[in-house]
Amino acid sequence: MEKIRLKIAVMILFGLLIGLLSCNSSLSGDKNKLIIFHAGSLSVPMKQIVQAFNEKHQEIKVLTEAAGSRDCARKITDLKKECDIMASADYSVIDQLLMPDYADWNIKFSSNEMVIVFNDKSVLSETIDSTNWFEILTKEEVKYGRSDPNSDPCGYRTVLVAKLAEKYYEIPNLANTVLSKDKNYIRPKETDLLALLEISTLDYVFIYRSVAVQHQLKYISLPDKINLEVPGFINFYNSVSVDISGKSPGETITKIGEPMIYGITIPKNAPNNENAIKFVDFILSDEGMKIMEKNGQPSLIPLKSDSFKNIPESLKKYALN
């Protein structure tokens, strides 16, 4: 009797295993599913873009996964995770970490700027402004947060802002004074810090203006010469740099200050390339970019692409050769 029960149990488990394998196989081969890895700062507009896209393509299920842009790239290169689209808060992440092995092309599509967000509960919120922010942030009673330079473009852009501020305000050692404080509040991506701001663990956070707009947060605008937004100040931005982790352990990449530009690509091994092209086309269209601009991320389309020849024909209209 016990042997019969054991045989039945084994048969049931075997059947469940076969069914599970079959299910996973069908999911991995589902041509109506899109997987998108994107920067945390794209979370709000991406959700709205997906909703608008699904009004036209109800048959396509879009799955989004937010992380620091460099972490998104490492999911593809190191973890070998499949995705159909990669959207980065810094176009150079695609150039430096994905191309040429994992991607053939890159389209630059949007801009942003660095700001400092806070709320009414923030210490000294009634006195901070664009001229004294560095004095406020370095006070002992004030806590501020920033993202990890090795995981997130907002992290290394914060370092660049601090270095630019040292030159702009002509205050020796200012960058080190700012960056050496509150290191225990460094997180993988900038949006991870918003909850800490909400519960008053943090008083201030370095973040993108778009995120401040999307979450209706108060923010301090920084001078154009240090906020990494204005193309006219590219020479000044280029005067500072920061070293971050490279493609392989022990390697480093030197990031030079430059205006913020987002980038998007379809990896070489995208499971659903055809639908990925449809989605990228929608993002970069007037309808998609209106959603981006409504969320504080102005369109830069079209800009020159060094990989123009490799861009799919239907998407070349969004770039310049």
**Taken in order 137, 139, 142, 148, is the CA torsion positive or negative?**
positive
C-alpha span between 201 and 185 (Å, rounded) = 9
**Taken in order 103, 289, 230, 38, is the CA torsion positive or negative?**
negative
Q: What is the mean pLDDT of the chain?
A: 92
C-alpha span between 276 and 105 (Å, rounded) = 14
C-alpha span between 248 and 260 (Å, rounded) = 25
C-alpha span between 279 and 63 (Å, rounded) = 12
Indicate whether 220 pLDDT > 50.
Answer: yes
Confidence of residue 191 (pLDDT cuts 50, 70, 90): confident
At 223-279, the pLDDT tens digits run: 999 999 999 999 999 999 999 999 888 899 999 999 999 999 999 999 999 999 999
Single-letter amino acid, residue 187: R
At 286-320, the pLDDT tens digits run: 999 999 999 999 999 999 999 999 999 999 999 99
Confidence of residue 16 (pLDDT cuts 50, 70, 90): very low
Per DSSP, 257 falls in state: P
Give the per-residue pLDDT at 6: 46
Higher pLDDT, 189 or 109: 109
Find the mean pLDDT for residues 104-125: 97
Domains in the chain, start-ordered, CATH in brackets?
31-111+262-320 (3.40.190.10), 114-256 (3.40.190.10)
| Measured CA distances, 113 to 89, 98, 150, 273 (Å) | 11, 24, 19, 32
Confidence of residue 29 (pLDDT cuts 50, 70, 90): low
Give the per-residue pLDDT at 190: 83
At 121-151, the pLDDT tens digits run: 999 999 999 999 999 999 999 999 999 999 9
C-alpha span between 42 and 281 (Å, rounded) = 17
Indicate whether 209 pLDDT > 90.
Answer: yes
For the chain, percent of residues with pLDDT exceeding 90 = 87
